Structure 1
Amino acid sequence: MVLASAILLGLVAAWMLAAGYLTYTLGIRLRQGLLYLPLKLLWRVHDKAMRQARDAEAPVIYVVSHQSRLEPALMLSLLPEQTLHILDDASARAVWLEPWRELGRTIAFNAEHVFVSRRLVRVLRGKGRLAVYLPDTVEPDVKSFRLFRAVARIAMQADARIVPIFVGGARHLPFSLTPAERAPRGWFPRLRIAALAPMTMAELLQRAGYSQTTTANALFDRFAEARLAGTDLDRGLFYAVRDAADRYGASRPIVEDVVGGALSYRKLLTGTRVLGRRLEAQTSHGEAVGVLLPNANGVVLTLLGLVSAGRVAAMINYTAGASNVASAVKTAAIKTIVSSRAFIQKADLADIVVAAEQAGARMVWLEELRDSITAIEKAVAAVQWRRPLQPQDPARPAVILFTSGSEGMPKAVVLSHRNLVANAMQAEARIGISPADKLFNVLPVFHSFGLTGGTILPLVTGVRLFLYPSPLHYKLIPDVARKIRPTIMFGTDTFLAAYARTAEDGDFSSLRFVVAGAEPVRAETRRVWRDRFGAEIIEGFGLTEAAPVVAVNTATHGRDGTVGRLLPGMRMRLEEVEGVSEGGRLWLNGPNLMMGYMTADRPGELQPLEGWHDSGDIVSVDREGFVTIRGRAKRFAKIAGEMVSLGAVEMLVQALWPEERHAAVAVPDKRKGERIVLVTTAGNADPETLRLYGKQAGAADLMVPHDIIKVREIPVLGSGKTDYVAARHMAIEQLGLAA
């Protein structure tokens, strides 16, 4: 009896001591610490950000993402006791929550009336604190978005600061509010609380980076930033994939191709370790190693193997031609290239290999590595699959990509682990995806869209990935889609239009949506996919330098003709451009912006990006924050001193001949400096019809091309973008301007 009493007293003393420590470090009351302690121990809560939240000067509104039944207990334990918590009906009545409800002031949530109550404004004006729990929706519907509008209005009336709070990992708790098929459960996932710096609505509107936006959108964007902050971006790419394996299950099938079948997370990371060990032995730490492979399981294994070994994966665009590949090898100082003999033979890329070798690289063949792997190596890797081969530094380079070269010589873009993971998480914070989805990726991994969006994003979010080797198989891809039943697909307008021409109506019927980028989506392509397949095309915009996604529409927050709204964590500013009345030159900043360039004149040397990045795009932004691309700065023609957007010319022509493809290019003109030439597949195109249509549309005479070059196909790059260099060369040749 005495021993039992002593043990009990010891436990109580330890409990009081631990609670006292939490009271001191977090600035909470002792009774809060006593009730918070079991939550802290069970879920190993990372709570450093809450000190800043508590210290926010009143009046303040804590906007909490309500993902599970645990958030009210956490917030009642950690926020100042005088905070008024607006709880949903279940939390207001839950018996288990009663001890925590005694820690603060609470009222029941009424979705119809609570947010228009004048009482809340009075509470805040009296230097009060308010905690509001908003539904955990990445893409809020009209009803959910009304809550953002109401909170923003209250904050404006009370001149209150807003502190968004997100508990990372809470949606995977056993008492999560998200359906289990969208968020697999775990008893004790590690929780990470993100609480952003307090800001007033006026400050949120000012930091948007463009002239106007709505208060609801400004609050929603800030809320999405808290979701991003709830993810640990400093873990490195290997750890991000490994953590996903822990979260969604090591035996979960995650990546599949048409030949090798499906790989689970465990098999993927086991193969990663085996291959990474072999590549580690043949290269040096931090070396840029070329990857010349198609969309298949092997390219994912190679990418992760190099990352695990502390190497940098330089993704080579094998469709760019021998001279560009040689330039890439020299620019990135690539000494070793990983490839496949079967792929080189099947794709007829012998000239690419010769060019790479002549530029100083040696080839390493996957077939030879595979045949030489021993049973012991496989067994050791199977035991150590969760461990990388080298320490992972998220600030160091992970990947080198090469710009598309659609307007000139490609440059090498160096992206860190943090750039890639941040961009994937930014996309997840904007687009509603889950492990219930299957993503069909036909875009090549040497293209940033196909790498980050089409490969890394599904790997770190538990979305099943199906890789297809070439986007140019227009007749085969619809048949594959009918068999594998994807819910998400990535593509470009060029590819999507081609698939629609060869597909049967049911081929893409399983899709929830298609994400399109790299080039503008034509209205005709959008209409066909809506009418025939019931699939919404959500258009986005990106740059290789931004890893690549910058802005994207969503199913509930989209606007046709725009590329959507800026991703969470990104900032923009517009610089005036002479001769452009609407919009300006886009400059960007954010965690996904590249480390810097490598250029041919300074091979292998990183030229760091300092501050803001000039995108080279001319854009306009409406008051809802939707971005419209007006054209590339390089894609403006200067005619008799006036700036004319070649992109606007293409839109004009597209409206006249919507089923054809067009490219507007500028060529020299002795009298006016430059003139516009239309390269088109429209066999019936003629200058007079175009002139009359332009007049009816109100277009200036300067932007209507008088020279028309008819071709069977518009030249495109491997990424699906129009090859404007080739199109301009065709125009100059046919017009006899080469001299």
Structure 2
Amino acid sequence: MLRVELIRPVPQLLVEQAARWGDKIVFSDDRRSVSYQDLADRTRRVAGHLVSAGIARGDRVLIYLDNSADIAEAYLMTTRASLVGVCVNADAAPAEIEHMLVDSGASVIITDRAHLAHARELGRLRGAMVLVVRPGRVEDARSYEELATTEPAGPPRDDLGLDDAAWMLYTSGTTGRPKGVVLTQRGCLWVVAACWAPIAGMSEQDRVLCPLPLFHSYALVLCVLGVFATGATERILPKFSPGRVLDLLATEDFTILPGVPTMFQYLVHSARERTVDAEGLRLCLSAGAILPAALNAEFEEVFGVKLLEGYGITETSTMVTMNTPDGGRVLGSCGLPMPGIGVRLVDPVSGRDVGVGEEGELWVSGPNVMRGYHNLDEATAEVLQDGWYRTGDLGRRDANGFLTISGRTKELIIRGGENIYPAEVEAVLLKADEVRDAAVVAREHPDLGEVPVAFVVPEEPGKLDVDALLGRCARELSKFKVPAGVFEIESIPRTGSGKIMRFLLQKQLPTPAG
């Protein structure tokens, strides 16, 4: 059942939840806790200060922070000033952060001391205001805490429309450059109202343990909007650690644990070495990558709690389909479409809808679909056609409507829930003088699902410096994008038009040791 009362502007929800829950904690991390009343007051003040400082409606705010309650607060604050929150992976390579700043045109950067030096460089580059979240004054930056605890000269705008741009999250593109996916309050809160509140049953009685990185849309919608809109309480971890998760489950009364398949794989491995105590846990949720049926069953056996899989991507404000805790479930399936969401499986060649059991490309329509890619009209037009978003993912539907994802028409590699496009890695490899040609493909991994590996044609056969090549990748790419292996090859197989025939390279992959 759709919880339509939750689909309202965030500033309105903030005020109402503060009046209802007051001093109840909404978000906490290893450093601080923030109550519902604090959240409403702090977001109002910071937004008011930004408006008074002349930050224009619709300007972008780069949220450049390590995982913390600060990110959750910043996501909500930007709506009060009618700005667009742009959250980035703080562990990304500096060049990637710079691209996202320049591409988004952000006029404000919110950062922490760990990234302050780089943020100040970026601020000078773009003339952007830099706010640092830790207390105290620093050169070339303003104190976010000071803005959050002092009254501004004027009020926040508090008038962001439900269908206006609210958040922009970056996803890798086929050209090797991340694309900004523009999301709305209506789209994201629709997922809360159609999935997390009614299906997962999130309510004021829940305590969520969040090991997810908050720069992902999955975490934005579930672990920020879902938590505060339903009156729940959440603990945010700085990074995922299976030992830390198991310790917290044993010592604190958490009821919901969201994650990606890789996290649940590591938790199962860790649970074999110690006693599992998760008595208060009532539900675990998985998205971001395909959850193997065997892992789903093993996790539920070891932890004694249901692990529900769903399907969603950034361009659809995350969830499109979801399994339910009650009623029928098909392990390995990602469930049924949510209320108000249209789903088609279409033959990529003929354009016809396929039948039961046949494989087709997944198309999605509904209020959760993105507005488009920021400043990329052609890329937007390629995937948004006649009200449908073409996901590029392949799937099958059984006679009862349960969807199972079977592959991708795109060349995306998903490493532990993180998206990698081969072209992005190949562009770095080809910068090296000793590399004549290169191609990146996915190799199966027992824990991460997939990892990227590179095939390289050297200028001088037999003289490829693999360590130097991987060092270049480590300097220019986020850690998860660095190839797990490099293999020398005489030539890259290509079609007549120059496209890489990746399936031929995958057949040449050596069997991993062990």
The TM-score normalised by the length of structure 1 is: 0.52
With 474-483 and 290-299 compared, the bigger mean Cα shift is at 474-483
Partner of 1:323: 95
Shift of 1:308: 0.7
Q: Describe how 1:673-692 pairs up with structure 2 within 5 A.
A: 679-680=443-444
Q: Quick one: which of 510, 535, 540 aligns to 2:310?
A: 540
Q: Quick one: which of 254, 273, 285 aligns to 2:26?
A: 254
Provide the C-alpha distance between the structure 2 equivalents of 1:297 and 1:466, rounded to a whole number of angstroms.
Answer: 8
Provide the C-alpha distance between the structure 1 equivalents of 2:201 and 2:148, rounded to a whole number of angstroms.
Answer: 43
Pair 1:395–1:664, CA change in 2 (3 A): closer
Q: Is the 8 A contact 1:276 1:309 kept in 2?
A: yes
Shift of 1:250: 2.5
1:302 has 2:74 as partner: yes
Higher helix share: 1
Provide the C-alpha distance between the structure 1 equivalents of 2:215 and 2:202, rounded to a whole number of angstroms.
Answer: 23
1:413 has 2:185 as partner: no
Provide the C-alpha distance between the structure 1 equivalents of 2:76 and 2:67, rounded to a whole number of angstroms.
Answer: 14
Partner of 1:690: none
Shift of 1:565: 0.8
Provide the C-alpha distance between the structure 2 equivalents of 1:357 and 1:508, rounded to a whole number of angstroms.
Answer: 48
Give a deviation string over 1:28-65, Cα, whole Å, max 9, x none.
xxxxxxxxxxxxxxxxxxxxxxxxxxxxxxxxxxxxxx
1:433 has 2:202 as partner: yes
Provide the C-alpha distance between the structure 2 equivalents of 1:288 and 1:664, rounded to a whole number of angstroms.
Answer: 26
1:365 has 2:132 as partner: yes
Partner of 2:509: none
Partner of 2:512: none
Provide the C-alpha distance between the structure 1 equivalents of 2:177 and 2:61, rounded to a whole number of angstroms.
Answer: 21
Give a deviation string over 1:611-630, Cα, whole Å, max 9, x none.
11111111111121111001
Q: Describe how 1:243-282 pairs up with structure 2 within 5 A.
A: 243-246=16-19, 248-261=20-33, 263-282=34-53
Shift of 1:328: 1.4
Q: Is the 8 A contact 1:316 1:325 kept in 2?
A: yes
1:231 has 2:5 as partner: yes
Give the length in aligned residue pairs.
428
Shift of 1:733: 4.2
Partner of 2:504: none
Query: Which secondary structure does the structure 1 equivalent of 2:310 belong to?
Result: strand
Q: Describe how 1:382-461 pairs up with structure 2 within 5 A.
A: 389-404=157-172, 408-427=176-195, 428-461=197-230
Query: Which secondary structure does the structure 1 equivalent of 2:406 belong to?
Result: strand
Provide the C-alpha distance between the structure 1 equivalents of 2:112 and 2:78, rounded to a whole number of angstroms.
Answer: 16
Provide the C-alpha distance between the structure 2 equivalents of 1:630 and 1:722, rounded to a whole number of angstroms.
Answer: 27
1:619 has 2:395 as partner: yes
Provide the C-alpha distance between the structure 1 equivalents of 2:52 and 2:490, rounded to a whole number of angstroms.
Answer: 55
Provide the C-alpha distance between the structure 2 equivalents of 1:497 and 1:267, rounded to a whole number of angstroms.
Answer: 37
Query: Which secondary structure does the structure 1 equivalent of 2:340 belong to?
Result: coil
Q: Is the 8 A contact 1:322 1:355 kept in 2?
A: no
Q: Quick one: which of 246, 253, 264 aligns to 1:485?
A: 253
Q: Is the 8 A contact 1:331 1:602 kept in 2?
A: no
Provide the C-alpha distance between the structure 2 equivalents of 1:240 and 1:420, rounded to a whole number of angstroms.
Answer: 14
Shift of 1:737: 4.8
Alignment identity in percent? Answer: 24
Q: Specify the code of the residue in structure 1 equivalent to 2:393.
A: D
Pair 1:272–1:561, CA change in 2 (3 A): same
Q: Specify the code of the residue in structure 1 equivalent to 2:211.
A: V
Provide the C-alpha distance between the structure 1 equivalents of 2:479 and 2:316, rounded to a whole number of angstroms.
Answer: 20
Q: Specify the code of the residue in structure 2 equivalent to 1:574.
A: L
Q: Quick one: which of 620, 628, 633 aligns to 2:404?
A: 628
Shift of 1:358: 4.5
Shift of 1:520: 1.3
Shift of 1:573: 1.7
Shift of 1:525: 3.0
Pair 1:559–1:297, CA change in 2 (3 A): same
Q: Is the 8 A contact 1:617 1:633 kept in 2?
A: yes
Greater RCO between the two (CA within 8 Å, min separation 6)?
Answer: 2
Q: Quick one: which of 370, 374, 387 aligns to 1:594?
A: 370
Pair 1:251–1:374, CA change in 2 (3 A): closer
Query: Which secondary structure does the structure 2 equivalent of 1:377 belong to?
Result: coil
With 477-486 and 267-276 compared, the bigger mean Cα shift is at 477-486
Pair 1:288–1:505, CA change in 2 (3 A): same
Q: Is the 8 A contact 2:46 2:148 kept in 1?
A: no
- Cα RMSD for the two superposed structures: 3.9
With 511-520 and 369-378 compared, the bigger mean Cα shift is at 369-378
Pair 1:578–1:601, CA change in 2 (3 A): closer
Q: Describe how 1:534-573 pairs up with structure 2 within 5 A.
A: 534-557=304-327, 558-573=329-344
Partner of 1:377: 151
Query: Which secondary structure does the structure 2 equivalent of 1:426 belong to?
Result: helix
Q: Describe how 1:184-195 pairs up with structure 2 within 5 A.
A: none
Q: Quick one: which of 278, 284, 306 aligns to 1:514?
A: 284
Q: Is the 8 A contact 1:406 1:722 kept in 2?
A: no
Query: Which secondary structure does the structure 2 equivalent of 1:334 belong to?
Result: coil
Q: Specify the code of the residue in structure 2 equivalent to 1:423.
A: V
The TM-score normalised by the length of structure 2 is: 0.73
Give a deviation string over 1:166-195, Cα, whole Å, max 9, x none.
xxxxxxxxxxxxxxxxxxxxxxxxxxxxxx
Gaps of 5+ in 2: 138-142, 427-438, 448-473, 494-514
Provide the C-alpha distance between the structure 2 equivalents of 1:406 and 1:482, rounded to a whole number of angstroms.
Answer: 43
Q: Describe how 1:72-221 pairs up with structure 2 within 5 A.
A: none
Pair 1:411–1:314, CA change in 2 (3 A): same
Q: Quick one: which of 196, 218, 239 aligns to 1:470?
A: 239
Q: Specify the code of the residue in structure 1 equivalent to 2:229.
A: V
Give a deviation string over 1:567-586, Cα, whole Å, max 9, x none.
11000122113499822111
Q: Is the 8 A contact 1:679 1:731 kept in 2?
A: no
Q: Is the 8 A contact 2:131 2:144 kept in 1?
A: no
Gaps of 5+ in 1: 1-223, 382-386, 637-645, 651-662, 669-674, 684-716
Q: Is the 8 A contact 1:440 1:467 kept in 2?
A: yes
Higher Cα Rg, which structure: 1
Q: Is the 8 A contact 2:246 2:276 kept in 1?
A: no
Q: Specify the code of the residue in structure 2 equivalent to 1:238.
A: P
Shift of 1:501: 2.7
Shift of 1:529: 2.1
Pair 1:330–1:602, CA change in 2 (3 A): farther
Q: Specify the code of the residue in structure 1 equivalent to 2:95.
A: S
Q: Is the 8 A contact 2:393 2:405 kept in 1?
A: yes
Q: Specify the code of the residue in structure 1 equivalent to 2:301.
A: D
Pair 1:612–1:722, CA change in 2 (3 A): farther
Q: Specify the code of the residue in structure 2 equivalent to 1:302.
A: A
Provide the C-alpha distance between the structure 1 equivalents of 2:101 and 2:203, rounded to a whole number of angstroms.
Answer: 38
Partner of 1:60: none
